[in-house]
Chain A
């Protein structure tokens, strides 16, 4: 770690707070969303602002979309700074590069901030203690920091941080501050109440959709139903007659990889804008793009007949497979899904006359927002001001910048601040979506052992579609890493991972748990298939195939908490699955029962080993969320495109799990001292395969396609 600690650099930062002090260390940046970390250089950056008035402000750099970063990230600083969250003000970072990588994604908020932000807190604490020791002219060890004050252990005098901050600001920033022992943690790892909750139950929390600024007008956009069609003609005669419709203009939807034509209705309020859109009569040209989902799925099955580009191999899988006479092959299909966060996409944008841009947006990454706008308008990043609001859910969607740029484009065109809101129909029919994918799986057994397994992933990838970063015939390394045997740790003798890209123009974007959601489904159902071939209990086969104690512990705790070894009553069965993603290991046990002709999901038990964590209750909340979203995706949700448009327009067609369908759920966290892994996504991937395995154990029917209809098994 390198820290720029020269006093000059240090003082340069203090403009931020006038007479106060800004101290900070920049984070280790991981530059992918898939949880693979890559170290970046450190810079001195201000995460802690202390005023001489004693007001302490901590900067949360990871936008809060419901995962609790607004509490978890500042807690890391507060723990070491020796302040309580009740005493501080928390503000969201604004995308400035001095904060480093600021995205909420890849379940990596706490993972990336764990050491740098604790060090930032500890460095500031050390400086404040030194300042106090100088003031009292006593040795450092006679000073102790607690709750925003330094205590003189000899005289019991106390000095508030605000009184010490001027003196502290004259000191060098310690390069290697001493971090607290884990046994000394007051906040980290405990169950603490989130201070942001009261506003969320009083209707006071402000999301992007709630922002209003002076002079603002509203906009809604008519997008092409077939996504990429060009406009042939716009007839806006009727729409313009509506009182409150101010303007109707052609605009565009800039995707990361291509632009689409669209028409915007500008109005005095959002409802009027939507009324105007209903009366717009736009004719579109035929689009040549591949957006029939059934066609994409057909092409994936065709690709499954051919060998795929190989990413990794151990032993000689093909030879061993050919020679084996106890082998199976299966193909599993996962489907397109919408993120469908309850708050739809929206942005308030103001492109001002002086060429500067200011936005208020529920977006997953302030730094990306700043960069995207600067890039689009070809202006320096300093001319862009980003205000990130609370996000009313996101799950990956609000890191795709189309809606953000749309609002900026409209504001520039009409020279007014604009609030753009997407309707639910826009959200569901326009994408981007989790891609549908195939898993072609081959495996063989001998004696009591699995002798080999090949996971051939098939389908479109983000790297290929969005970034054009995949050469023809090349496997997607990131995707293959997620499904690798390094990740699953199954010690089979012969293994192979391959991936064939099959392209589609249906726009895709990571969806909570990214590839885990697609590929745990096939892989973990297939491990059960191999166990049946061996006539070995599926959980036992996994224990037999795993040497890593963390993985084994997860399975053992799952067995205990789900009463796995007690026989199920008649008409009931259990199924299990496990998956490692974003640095954490999770397993689930789903109990299903026959209810008349239908299958009823009775209970889900989830176990998570995420290493050290910040707030135990928030981890449990994320596990609950992953169980429910996982079940919803596995049993109800589906996006399809036919006749060149999306078939699902609102929640009557895009069905998500409702409270009356909720099973009993149990969540268990494994406590250990291992560095933190992710929390927001890892519990999701095991849910679908555990359900598929439970249904097989109940009915003998092996389901290989999502979503699972519970009505006709």
Chain B
């Protein structure tokens, strides 16, 4: 057991944990943010995706001791006080069914758009291939990313004017 200080959604948290404890379980069971989900524990399904220093990672594979000062963003902190364009698009297109995988889907989609605000269909398909959805919402996820991309471009234009 060791003490760790982590930055989640711009807030510091102090936790006592085994250095080998995966970030997923720190976030869920020690910090108490339940939006990040467990799906496989082996980085195969993407349900636990969070942003670590802005990059999408499978939090079930990252040990707490390797996080250090890197900033963590979870679904709860993605949009800040408002909705992230991906979340807006997800609501507009009614993407979720059960919704359990959607935190991970949204974190992957947001990371994709942060890297490239206008991804082509193939880039989207590749970027999202690590996130499983059992309800079968893939078609809407693809459309949701296209819509979020449009929203991002529109707001960019508005800001430029």
A interface with B by C-beta (< 8 Å): 64-68, 193-194, 197-207, 209-210, 212, 218, 243-244, 269-272, 274-275, 340-344, 390-393, 395, 421, 423-424, 617-618, 621, 624-629, 632, 650-652, 656-662, 665
In the complex, the answer to whether A392 meets B98 with C-beta atoms within 8 Å is: yes
Closest 10 A-B residue pairs measured CB to CB?
A203-B35, A66-B98, A392-B100, A200-B99, A628-B136, A203-B75, A625-B136, A66-B97, A210-B34, A271-B25
> Which B residues between 30 and 78 are near A, CB-CB below 8 angstroms?
30, 32-42, 44-45, 47, 74-76
Q: Which of B134-151 contact A (CB under 8 A)?
A: 134-142
| A275 surroundings in chain B (CB, below 8 A) | 18
The reply to whether the CB of B111 lies closer than 8 angstroms to some CB of chain A is no
Can you pick out 15 interface pairs between chain A and chain B where the beta carbons lie within 8 Å of each other? Answer: A66-B135, A194-B94, A197-B95, A201-B106, A204-B35, A243-B1, A271-B21, A341-B134, A342-B132, A393-B135, A625-B136, A628-B136, A658-B130, A662-B139, A665-B139
When distances are taken between beta carbons in the complex, the residues of chain A under 8 Å from B96 are 66, 197, 200-201
CB of B125 within 8 A of chain A? yes
Give the complex CA separation of A342 and B97 in angstroms: 12
Q: A218 to B35, alpha carbons, bound, how many Å?
A: 19
**Cβ-neighbour of A65 out of B41, B74, B98, B106 (below 8 A):** B98
Chain B residues contacting A205 (CB-CB under 8 Å) are 99
Interface residues in chain B, defined as those with a beta carbon under 8 Å from any beta carbon in chain A: 1, 18, 21-22, 25, 29-30, 32-42, 44-45, 47, 74-76, 79, 83, 87, 90-91, 94-103, 106, 125-126, 128-142
Q: How far apart are the CA atoms of A64 and B135 in the complex, in Å?
A: 12
A651 to B134, CA, bound (A): 12
Residue of A nearest to B128 (CB): A659
A658 to B35, CA, bound (A): 22
**Most chain A CB atoms below 10 A, which of B76, B94, B101:** B94
CB distance from B92 to the nearest CB of A (A): 9
Q: Which residues in A have their C-beta under 8 angstroms from that of B134?
A: 340-342, 393, 395, 629, 656
Contact flag A203-B136 (CB < 8 Å), given A243-B18, A342-B98, A390-B98: no
| Chain B positions within 8 Å of A651 at CB level | 40, 42, 44-45, 132
Q: With contacts A197-B96, A621-B140 known, what are 9 further pairs, Cβ within 8 A?
A: A67-B97, A203-B36, A272-B18, A392-B101, A627-B136, A628-B136, A659-B125, A660-B129, A662-B142
Do B106 and A342 have beta carbons less than 8 Å apart? no
Closest-by-CB residue of A relative to B145 is A659
Chain B nearest CB, measured from A160 CB (Å): 30
Cβ 8 A contact of A393, one of B29, B42, B98, B103 = B98
Docked Cα-Cα span, A385 to B24, in Å, equals 31
- Closest CB-CB distance, B82 to chain A, in whole Å? 11
Say whether B25 contacts A270, CB under 8 Å: yes
Output the nearest chain A residue to B42 by Cβ-Cβ distance: A650
A625 to chain B: which residues have CB within 8 Å? 97, 135-137
CB-CB under 8 A from B97, the residues of chain A are 66-68, 621, 625
Q: Which residue of B lies closest to A664 (CB)?
A: B139
Distance between Cα atoms of A309 and B142 in the complex (Å): 49
Known: A65-B98, A424-B41, A651-B42. A202 touches B18 (CB 8 A): no
Which residues on A sit within 8 Å (CB–CB) of B99? 66, 197, 199-201, 205, 390, 392
Among candidates B34, B44, B91, residue contacting A203 with C-beta atoms closer than 8 Å: B34
Find A660's partner among B34, B90, B95, B125 (CB 8 Å cutoff): B125
Bound Cα distance A625, B137 (Å)? 6
Measured between alpha carbons, how far is A659 from B129 in the docked complex, in Å?
5
- A177 to nearest B CB, angstroms? 32
What is the distance, in angstroms, from A92's C-beta to the closest C-beta of chain B? 15
Whether the Cβ atoms of B129 and A201 lie closer than 8 Å is: no
- Distance, CA A243 to CA B141, complexed state (A): 42
Residues in A neighbouring B38, C-beta threshold 8 A: 209, 344, 421
Q: Is the CB of B125 within 8 A of A343?
A: no
A201 and B102 contact, CB distance less than 8 A: yes
Which residues of A lie under 8 Å from residue B75 when comparing CB positions? 202-203
By a CB distance below 8 angstroms, the chain B residues around A203 are 33-36, 74-76, 103
Whether the Cβ atoms of A342 and B1 lie closer than 8 Å is: no
A343 adjacent to B37 (CB under 8 Å) = yes
Query: In the complex the two chains form, is B103's CB within 8 Å of A624's CB?
Result: no
A629–B106 touching, CB < 8 Å: no
Q: Which residues of A contact B101 (CB under 8 A)?
A: 342, 392
Q: Report chain B residues within 8 Å CB of A66.
A: 96-100, 135
> Chain A residues with Cβ under 8 A from B22's Cβ?
271
Nearest chain A CB to B48 CB, angstrom units? 11
Q: Give Cα A390–Cα B102 distance, bound, in whole angstroms.
A: 14
CB neighbours (8 Å) of A200 from chain B are: 96, 99, 102
B101 → chain A closest CB, angstroms? 5
Contact status of A342 and B39, CB under 8 A, knowing A200-B99, A203-B34, A271-B25 = yes
- CB <8 Å contact, B35 and A343: no
A660 to B39 CA separation, bound complex (whole angstroms): 19
Contact B100 A617 (CB under 8 A): no
C-alpha gap A665/B134 in the complex (Å): 17
Which residues from chain A contact B25 at a C-beta distance below 8 Å? 269-271
CB distance from A570 to the nearest CB of B (A): 24
State A657–B141 Cα separation when bound (angstroms).
14
Task: Please measure, in the bound complex, the distance between the C-alpha atom of A243 and the C-alpha atom of B95, giving whole angstroms.
Answer: 42
